[in-house]
Copies of this chain bind each other. A is one copy, B any other.
Amino acid sequence: MGSSFGTLFRISTWGESHGGGVGVVIDGCPPRIPLSAADIQVDLDRRKPGQSEIVTPRKELDECEILSGTFDGLTLGTPIAILVRNKDARPESYSEMREKYRPSHADYTYQAKYGIRNWQGGGRASARETIGRVAAAVVAKKIIAQFAPDLEIIAYVKTIKDLIAEVNPMTVQFETVEGNIVRTGDPKAVDPMVDLIKEMRSEGNSVGGTVECVVRGCPPGLGEPVFDKLEADLAKAMMSLPATKGFEIGSGFAGTQLTGKEHNDPFYMEGDRVRTETNLSGGIQGGISNGEAIVFRTAFKPTATIMTSQKTVSQSGEDTELSARGRHDPCVLPRAVPMVEAMTALVLCDHFLRQHTLSVSPETSNSEDVR
């Protein structure tokens, strides 16, 4: 069950990095939503390898085929199956990994869990698994637009190592982020970040950082009070992405340095809309969106695969060394940006549908904000 996500808008991804392909089945998509493979391809292209000089050169066009669930360009309400074939798999690059565990990778833990693993690549731990998530998120965003046409989800690189982008989450534009290969929201940070990534790669090293994501235009009322708090589901969504080490929302860890008087967000009326003067809550209170911008950050560790000899052990239990080969990102952040947006869309879509199930009461409806 660990390969499914969502309750009402439920996706199930499948596929190893080296095998027949990867894909996703989407169950719970409402009918009559316009959808084509071209729609999906747009976001797959933002995620795919080889898209710029600072990412892995693996040559995968990641062209998708919609196998079911649409007819005449509209969704049918039935499961949507999407397939992307693996094309440029090079298992020979992995022959050494048949016997040796890559440090800080999932080789050892898969072997410990299953007693078997597809050593020809990262298996399900490969970033290729996220293809299905990104594809499904295209559908999710179309559903979200039915509820909140003006809702925007924008992620961007906030930091790489000690380089910090200055970005205002209230005003940052998608075009700015997409206009540079790092996918940061601060034009001045682009060159230093590109230089750092190239330097790391030339040294056979790698680097990490943080992605910040803002959701603007989200109505109040999304999220469930207890376990499925909106921030809890976002935290799980982000921490389910490869290479993540941390999640924080609103004031986050820095908020622990404030007192309650400083931290509380005072309410005020803006016309007939309830607003907060500050937004240390990050747009969510008690697990439920309050109508302010949702702002959160995710930490990505430096890529585990480095082109340097490392101490490790063999599957047969011997101390040894490993020099990684294969084609990898020296920094996952640029390609992580569309993944963060995708997971955000999946969480929001699910919660829009969940909230929609509550809108059945006869009296004054709670569905004013969330259709």
Would A272 and B317 be within 8 Å (CB), given that A229-B239, A266-B103 are in contact?
yes
* Mask of A275-306 contacts with B, CB within 8 angstroms, 1/0: 01100111011111111000000011111111
> Any chain B CB within 8 A of the CB of A325?
no
Residues from 66 to 122 in A contacting B, C-beta threshold 8 Å: 66-69, 71, 74, 76-81, 83, 101, 103-106, 108-110, 112-118, 120
| Chain B nearest CB, measured from A321 CB (Å) | 10
Residues of B near A228 (CB, < 8 A) are 1-2, 240
Smallest Cβ-Cβ distance to A268: which chain B residue: B319
| A256, A277, A313 interface centre (most CB from chain B within 10 Å) | A256
> Any chain B CB within 8 A of the CB of A202?
no
| Chain B nearest CB, measured from A11 CB (Å) | 9
- Assess whether A260 is in contact with B207, with CB atoms less than 8 Å apart: yes
Would A109 and B286 be within 8 Å (CB), given that A225-B2, A252-B299 are in contact?
yes
- Assess whether B261 is in contact with A205, with CB atoms less than 8 Å apart: yes
- Assess whether B301 is in contact with A256, with CB atoms less than 8 Å apart: yes
- Assess whether B249 is in contact with A104, with CB atoms less than 8 Å apart: no
Smallest Cβ-Cβ distance to A304: which chain B residue: B264
**A48-56, A169-177, A185-193, A354-362 - the one binding chain B:** A354-362
* Mask of A257-271 contacts with B, CB within 8 angstroms, 1/0: 111111111111100
> Any chain B CB within 8 A of the CB of A200?
yes
- Assess whether A159 is in contact with B306, with CB atoms less than 8 Å apart: no
| Chain B nearest CB, measured from A268 CB (Å) | 6
- Assess whether B14 is in contact with A79, with CB atoms less than 8 Å apart: yes
Please count how many residues in chain A sit with their CB below 8 Å of the partner chain's CB atoms: 166
* Mask of A229-256 contacts with B, CB within 8 angstroms, 1/0: 1011111111110101111111111011
Smallest Cβ-Cβ distance to A322: which chain B residue: B267
| Chain B nearest CB, measured from A56 CB (Å) | 14
Partner pick for A103 among B118, B200, B236, B265, CB 8 A cutoff: B265
> Any chain B CB within 8 A of the CB of A184?
no
Q: How far is the CA of A57 from the CA of B253 in the complex (A)?
A: 28
- Assess whether A81 is in contact with B220, with CB atoms less than 8 Å apart: no
> Any chain B CB within 8 A of the CB of A22?
yes
- Assess whether B14 is in contact with A67, with CB atoms less than 8 Å apart: yes
Q: How far is the CA of A274 from the CA of B326 in the complex (A)?
A: 24
Smallest Cβ-Cβ distance to A256: which chain B residue: B208
Residues from 17 to 65 in A contacting B, C-beta threshold 8 Å: 19-23, 25, 27-28, 30-33, 65
- Assess whether A33 is in contact with B361, with CB atoms less than 8 Å apart: yes
Partner pick for A3 among B226, B238, B244, B246, CB 8 A cutoff: B226
Partner pick for A357 among B8, B253, B264, CB 8 A cutoff: B8
Residues of B near A269 (CB, < 8 A) are 313, 317-319
- Assess whether B365 is in contact with A356, with CB atoms less than 8 Å apart: no
Smallest Cβ-Cβ distance to A273: which chain B residue: B317
Partner pick for A360 among B68, B101, B147, CB 8 A cutoff: B147
| Chain B nearest CB, measured from A240 CB (Å) | 4
> Any chain B CB within 8 A of the CB of A123?
yes
Q: How far is the CA of A282 from the CA of B355 in the complex (A)?
A: 33
> Any chain B CB within 8 A of the CB of A13?
yes
Nearest 6 CB-CB pairings of A with B: A106-B286, A2-B224, A246-B248, A206-B260, A109-B288, A115-B366
Known: A113-B288, A205-B261, A235-B247. 13 other contacts (CB 8 A): A1-B228, A3-B225, A77-B114, A103-B265, A103-B267, A104-B281, A124-B225, A200-B260, A232-B236, A246-B249, A253-B299, A261-B308, A266-B310
